[in-house]
Structure 1
Amino acid sequence: MTILDKFKPLQAAYETVRAAGKDPFSVRFDEVLSPSEAVMNGRRTILLGTNNYLGLTFDRAAIEAAADAVRRAGTGTTGSRIANGTYGGHADLERRLADFYGCSSAMVFSTGYQANLGILSTVAGRGDHILIDADSHASIYDGCRLGQAEVIRFRHNDPDDLARRLRRLKDTPGNRLIVVEGIYSMLGDTAPLAEIAEVKREWGAHLLVDEAHSLGVLGDHGRGLVEEAGIEDDVDFIVGTFSKSLGAVGGFCVSNLPDFDILRIACRPYMFTASLPPAVIASVIRSLGRVEEEPGLRRKLQDNASRLYHTLKDAGFQLGPRTSPIVSIRMPSITVAITFWNALLDAGVYLNLALPPATPDNASLLRSSVSAAHSPAQLDAAAEAIIRIGRSLDVIPETRCLEMAVR
């Protein structure tokens, strides 16, 4: 018996997935050709599961900015900002983020995961209460576990349930922090932010919105669901990542709260982690500029998302509740989901296999993420493969597909 024996049930489940075909946890690309295409097992493959919403991973200006930063400042910082100092790029990016969101302060983290881990474990302490949407990302759950506040879950996208839970705390001391997401990563649905902000105001709580999947995607200026919902003055913290729309890695938090900068010496995941290398900082600054300067990228993304979503919906698939760059297909079982995912890889389409317990309602999903870089031909080819395989596995009725083909 060893210390790892407790993982035997997980190992057994993993082996079941692997036995059905390719290993979804060890996908390897021979070569990445563009934001929308790669070579996998010697075959050109459409990338439909990368979260590369604006297609900026190959942006020429961002690449040149990163290369220049490496030549000027080296490959890394070799330590945290507390120990090894702040580079000029770190401060520049924080100013750009604060200005972009119209906030007074910004902090940059080494990953988006760490941003949630750091902020949630620090701002809410012993005697406080964090109220999180039940479908929150793992980084939100982990940030709550790392801290000492009481954690209360409310039903997904249910402001009334949130209000009921706050009402129960009416005479209980401590601060209340509500945590929701802009776009939820599994089904692509959005939080009812206006209603949640109303509950927040009524009960004197604070509000944190994780815009990881909505930065650059929603809002007239790409500031996310907070901007689209028109509640920017009601939000105390916005957390996000550079690894989706900005095509890099890293995370951030912006806020208008006074004394926000005290978190730099209170937040352990910020203090004791190596800071982002100069090349990443430089590319993110350039990509953020494109979000500000080119609203056409968002329009192209929305057009592409609508094209794929409605094609699959018309074919009879069960999808998420709204058009979104995240297009997830509900599968009837884990076995069908694994078989479907393997068949898509064989057909030259890569998307994400999402299985319980990491999914809402323990659903088995095939999760795709559309990019502004996808061509109509790529989306149509992917949709054709999905529909053909869905028909062969009886996930959708053949007659529905034939009717669609006639139209």
Structure 2
Amino acid sequence: MRHREQTDATNRDRTDGVSLLHRSAAPGEDHPVRGLDFASQDCLGLSTHPDIVATAADTLRRLGVRSVCAATEAGAPGLALALERRIADFLQMEEALLCPTGRAAAQAVIRGLVRPADHVVIDAAIRGSLREVSEIATDNLSPFRHLDAEHCRALLRAIRARDAENGILVVTESLSPLDSGTPDLAVLRALCDEYGATLLVDVSQDLGCLGEDGRGHLGLQDMLGRADLVTGSFSKSFASNGGFVATRTRAVTRCLRVGDAAAQTLSPIQIAVILKAFAIIDDAEGRERRARLMRNVLNLRTALRDRALAVCGEPCTSVSVEVGTGEPARLAAARLAERGLLADLAALAETGRLRLHVTAGHGDAEIARAAACVAEVLGEVFGEVFGEAPGKTRSAATGSSARSNLRAAA
């Protein structure tokens, strides 16, 4: 069940999310600015969890400091195998493959499966490694309108009308970092079945931190084990860098292990930390932290809307405020930092968005302060740039052999 827009003011106020925003002291100052951090993405607060810290320290004492290396050279190869099994079971997939980063995971799966004659049909809002490696792998790249399954269907139909032989990879994200939107994964699954395509879902934004069980939108949409390929990273919820590819077919994982992805894995400390994070995420404490996180998200979205600001997409860890164009967003981000609030900026061709990354550790007072600060700064910026308030006009901007490898993954 997806979360409704609601608030809960009954819990006691928390102040443990206030952090120091480090900068050079101005003349006459002898201390850093104290403010609010809404730019970090340790959304469950596991990076400072005592069990995580103890696990990292124990692994360090036993195995020492090691750089990213091959699994067999990592000092404890059983750790890597245990983590791969944990990922596969968590997602109800057949097997998983560890990668040094989320970017490396995208490169491993697309370079390993897509050949020049194949087709990639990708959500137009996807940027970064998934888009870049697709452009390198094949010239047959067809973006479909963001979250528009009917446009995806039209592209698949046109491709199959002229090419009945080569593979098609459909690429989407379970949660878009740009607008907090989520696709209808069941519809995309049905389209892939109809047109003989392979479905790849990247879960970097919601795995571990959304849904009662932490399975994100794959779990919320009853799609666990139904995508052909799942990629993701650990940095948002699992207190470590790193990435993975999970597959429904063991033969596909074996194919990927032959490539560059098999040459490097994570350090023993990273692997041990991620395993411990999985244990926390999958038990009662993980559910409590996700509930606290979602409560903060809903309260922030409500507080921003109460101030006539346009909030985008589904409730998730990143609360995006519609700005309308890139220039006001850049001005606002700088002024927010000057006032002690760190936020992220997503600038698109047609609009700009301020993103506030919410954590389970933020308190009610911090949520209220952040909303008030954003509204005040945007009011100033829009008054200077447009001569009007942000809520009146800017919200309108929201309306504006390859074949064998890919067929084996399907």
Which residue, out of 371, 378, 383, partners 1:390? 378
> Quick one: distance in 1 between partners of 2:127 and 2:272?
28
- Residues 105 and 232, structure 2, Cα contact 8 Å, conserved in 1: yes
Deviations 1:41-73 (A, max 9, x none): 211221101222212111111111011111111
Residue type at the aligned position of 1:89: L
Which residue, out of 247, 256, 262, partners 1:271? 262
Taking a change above 3 Å as real, the CA distance of residues 398 and 56 of structure 1, as seen in their structure-2 partners, is: same
- Residues 132 and 178, structure 1, Cα contact 8 Å, conserved in 2: yes
Q: Which moved more, 1:205-214 or 1:338-347?
A: 338-347
Question: For 1:104-143, what aligned pairs fall within 5 Å after superposition?
Answer: 104-143=94-133
Match of residue 363 from structure 1: 351
- Residues 74 and 267, structure 2, Cα contact 8 Å, conserved in 1: no
Residue type at the aligned position of 1:319: V
Q: Which moved more, 1:187-196 or 1:387-396?
A: 387-396
- Residues 107 and 254, structure 1, Cα contact 8 Å, conserved in 2: yes
Offset of 1:210 from its aligned partner? 0.3
Match of residue 40 from structure 1: 22
Offset of 1:324 from its aligned partner? 2.3
Deviations 1:361-396 (A, max 9, x none): 442221111111211111111112112222233367
Taking a change above 3 Å as real, the CA distance of residues 366 and 66 of structure 1, as seen in their structure-2 partners, is: same
Give the TM-score of the pair, scaled to structure 2.
0.82
> Quick one: distance in 1 between partners of 2:255 and 2:391?
59
Which residue, out of 254, 272, 276, partners 1:282? 272
Aligned length, in residue pairs: 362
- Residues 240 and 270, structure 2, Cα contact 8 Å, conserved in 1: yes
Is 1:80 the counterpart of 2:70? The answer is: yes
Which residue, out of 53, 66, 77, partners 2:56? 66
Taking a change above 3 Å as real, the CA distance of residues 126 and 329 of structure 1, as seen in their structure-2 partners, is: same
Offset of 1:166 from its aligned partner? 0.7
Which residue, out of 320, 344, 360, partners 1:372? 360
Deviations 1:115-172 (A, max 9, x none): 1111111122232211110001311112213424722111110111111111112241
Residue type at the aligned position of 1:169: I
Taking a change above 3 Å as real, the CA distance of residues 321 and 39 of structure 1, as seen in their structure-2 partners, is: closer
Offset of 1:323 from its aligned partner? 2.3
Percent same amino acid at aligned positions? 25
Match of residue 56 from structure 1: 46
- Residues 35 and 55, structure 1, Cα contact 8 Å, conserved in 2: no
> Quick one: distance in 1 between partners of 2:78 and 2:312?
43
Secondary structure of 2:120's counterpart equals: strand
Match of residue 4 from structure 1: none
Offset of 1:224 from its aligned partner? 1.7
- Residues 182 and 209, structure 1, Cα contact 8 Å, conserved in 2: yes
- Residues 302 and 324, structure 1, Cα contact 8 Å, conserved in 2: yes
Offset of 1:328 from its aligned partner? 1.5
What root-mean-square deviation, in Å, do the aligned CA atoms of Structure 1 and Structure 2 show? 2.3
Match of residue 193 from structure 1: 185
Taking a change above 3 Å as real, the CA distance of residues 150 and 394 of structure 1, as seen in their structure-2 partners, is: closer
Match of residue 314 from structure 1: 306
Taking a change above 3 Å as real, the CA distance of residues 35 and 102 of structure 1, as seen in their structure-2 partners, is: farther
Residue type at the aligned position of 2:377: I
Taking a change above 3 Å as real, the CA distance of residues 84 and 296 of structure 1, as seen in their structure-2 partners, is: closer
Taking a change above 3 Å as real, the CA distance of residues 329 and 69 of structure 1, as seen in their structure-2 partners, is: same
Match of residue 208 from structure 2: 216
Deviations 1:222-280 (A, max 9, x none): 11211111122431111111100112100011122131332343332x134x4211111
Question: For 1:296-307, what aligned pairs fall within 5 Å after superposition?
Answer: 296-307=288-299
- Residues 66 and 74, structure 2, Cα contact 8 Å, conserved in 1: no
